[in-house]
Structure 1
Amino acid sequence: MDTGGDGPVVVLLHGLAGSGRELLPTAEALSPELRVLVVDQRGHGASTRRPADVSRAAFVADVVTVVESLAPGRKVCLVGQSMGAHTAFLVAHARPDLVDRLVMLEGHVRGGEPGEAARLGAWFASWPLPFAHEQTARAFLGPSPLTEAWVADLERTPAGLRPRFDADVMEAVLAAVHEPRWEEWRSLTVPTLAVFAENGMFTVEQQDELVAARAATERAVLRGAGHDAHLDVPDAWTDLLRRYLLTARGRPSPAP
């Protein structure tokens, strides 16, 4: 999706097992002052379902291609959630000439716990697919904003409803995300806002660790939200993001 316009360019990157669809409300909240590009990353949404390469370098190359193709000669602000935040910071590391600002929502560079990717892959593989109806999916997944995002994104097939991702691909993608990336993080010079959720994935100590590791990193916390804060507290998220991105292009002033 490309909202168009002549304003500063923002690229939105979703998290693991998500798609750009869940970030459309964010894109709408930033328009028309900003031109927003919403990307389905490989293995997700309307992108290639089973890409041959799920390395972090491949994800970075995809985003670079989007920026150079759709916003040639311009710097962009990269905004990502979870896996998308990880992709965004690696793009900023690889191509600092393309990035003006970086916003990471519930993202980190510390890596994951052993076996975590395999456990999540096994859970995705346990889904009783295809779902016969949306109600069946909701009954299995449980009530939550994340469930509603997944249900809205289900692919309708002759056999029933299926997610737009495969469990083994998600496991492989997450395993790559879970490799520590401290060297790349410390080398970044782009102004960065690290946004965490009050009830999110990262402890206060882990948040402190990320922010303290490099200059030009600010922190904000979204109260009453979990890891998928853009779905849990969408108004608070978009208010914070607009304030950060639309502040005069000097030092931002996010409210914690």
Structure 2
Amino acid sequence: MRGRTGHLVWYRTGEGAAEVAFLHGFSDSAQCWDPVIRALPDVRTLAIDARGHGESGLPEEPIRYTAHRDDAALVLSDQPPNDGVVVVGHSMGAMAAAYLAAARPDLVRAVVLEDPPPGAPGNHPDEPWSEPDWLAGLRALDLPDRIARGRANDPGWPDDELEPWAVSKGQVNPRLFDLTFQDAAPLTDLLAEITCPVLLIHGDPERGGLISPEYAAQCARAAAGEFHAAHIPNAGHSVRRDNRPQYLAALTSFLPRSSECASSDQ
């Protein structure tokens, strides 16, 4: 089922309230979660196109993680009532999920963070930014050539990852780069405000992962609630694409735990 709430487009599987909501990374789209969603056939899911991505609109305002947080809250609040969802986010979407879990515990019963950016200290002023060269280069290609580029750059990715990844690059709204950007708060600061269970999934920094084992340990010390970290070997920033079997094993083992925690809180 496809729907729209305000400027945001979302996709839902199953009838009734969603159990797991997915927030994608920069330049991806909700459709990029399809391979993971297909691996969860008994779970009702919701995936959201972030502003300026996929089929969602782009409000004329600075790009901030608080805006991504509020966008996700808007969509979740417009869904059938439930006792909170597990929010799974990757990269930009992981940081948005952390912001959401910290601010709206009524909407989030647990959160899964796939290789989020650590964030930055300071006052987080608005900064100008520009389209990365790698994205501009991909956007200049037609879809078959984008798919071929993805296969060449990441030959270990499953074939079903390549088309949604390639399609999403052509959907990024170029006006995004006319707006200013505000960096995220440190992830450790957000974890200190999150009281629901957290699963941090990270790969190897030498392969491009953003979270080192040392920083994962800092996150564990900072977390206010139940915290778990899963290091997935042979994976970089796109953990689920680089090592799907172990990513799914970590995710699916956490989902029942998050349900048990929600039941014990009632």
Q: Does residue 107 of structure 2 align to residue 98 of structure 1?
A: yes
User: Residue 238 in 1 paired to residue 244 in 2?
Assistant: no
> Structure 1 residues 63, 44: CA separation in 2 closer, same or farther (over 3 Å shift)?
same
| Partner residue, 2:60 | 52
* Contact 2:51/2:68 (<8 A) preserved: yes
Instruction: Give the corresponding residue for 1:204.
Output: 213
State the shift of 1:188 in Å: 1.4
Q: Secondary structure at the match of 2:39?
A: helix
Residue 127 (structure 1) aligns with:
137
1:145-201 CA distances to partner (integer Å, 9 max, x unpaired)?
39985654555xxxxx9611146626968x434443544331211111111113422
Looking at structure 1, the residues matched to 16 and 146 of structure 2 have their Cα atoms a distance apart, in angstroms, of: 44
Cα RMSD for the two superposed structures = 3.4
| Alignment-derived partner of residue 88 in structure 2 | 79
Equivalent in the alignment of 2:6: none
Query: Which secondary structure does the structure 1 equivalent of 2:87 belong to?
Result: strand
2:151/2:162 contact within 8 Å kept: no
Partner amino acid for 1:121? Answer: E
Is 1:221 matched with 2:228? no
Structure 2 unpaired stretches of 5+: 1-10
- Relative to structure 1, the CA distance from residue 180 to residue 148 in structure 2 (aligned partners, 3 Å threshold; closer, same or farther) is same
**Aligned residue number for residue 180 of structure 1:** 186
Contact 2:220 2:227 survives alignment (8 Å) = yes
Alpha-carbon spacing, 1:162–1:78, altered in 2? closer, same or farther (3 Å): closer
C-alpha separation in 1, matches of 2:170 and 2:182: 21
- Matched residue of 2:217: which SS? helix
**1:153·1:163 contact (CA, 8 Å) conserved in 2?**
no
Asked whether the equivalents of residues 122 and 167 of structure 1 are also in contact (C-alpha less than 8 Å), the reply is no
Residues matched between the structures, number: 242
Q: Does 2:117 align with 1:111?
A: no
Gaps of 5+ in 1: 156-160
Q: Residues 142-157 of structure 1: matches in 2 within 5 Å?
A: 142-144=152-154, 145=157, 149=161, 151-154=163-166
Q: Which amino acid aligns with 1:79?
A: V
- 1: CA distance, partners of 2:176 / 2:141: 20
Q: Could you report, residue by residue, the CA deviation over 1:56-113 in whole angstroms, capped at 9, with x for unpaired residues?
A: 222111111111111324311111011111000111111111111111111144339x
2:176 aligned partner, one-letter code? V
Q: Determine the C-alpha separation between the residues in 2 that align with 1:180 and 1:196.
A: 16
With normalisation by structure 2, the TM-score equals: 0.76
Q: Distance in 1 between matches of 2:35 and 2:159?
A: 16
Return closer, same or farther for 1:224/1:169 CA change in 2, 3 Å cut-off: same
CA distance in 2, matches of 1:171, 1:217: 38
Identify which range, 176-185 or 69-78, moves more after superposition. Answer: 176-185
Please report how far the alpha carbon of residue 212 of structure 1 lies from its aligned counterpart in structure 2 after TM superposition.
1.4
Are the aligned partners of 2:110 and 2:258 in contact in 1 as well (CA < 8 Å)?
no
Counterpart amino acid of residue 169 in structure 1: L
Q: Percent identity?
A: 22
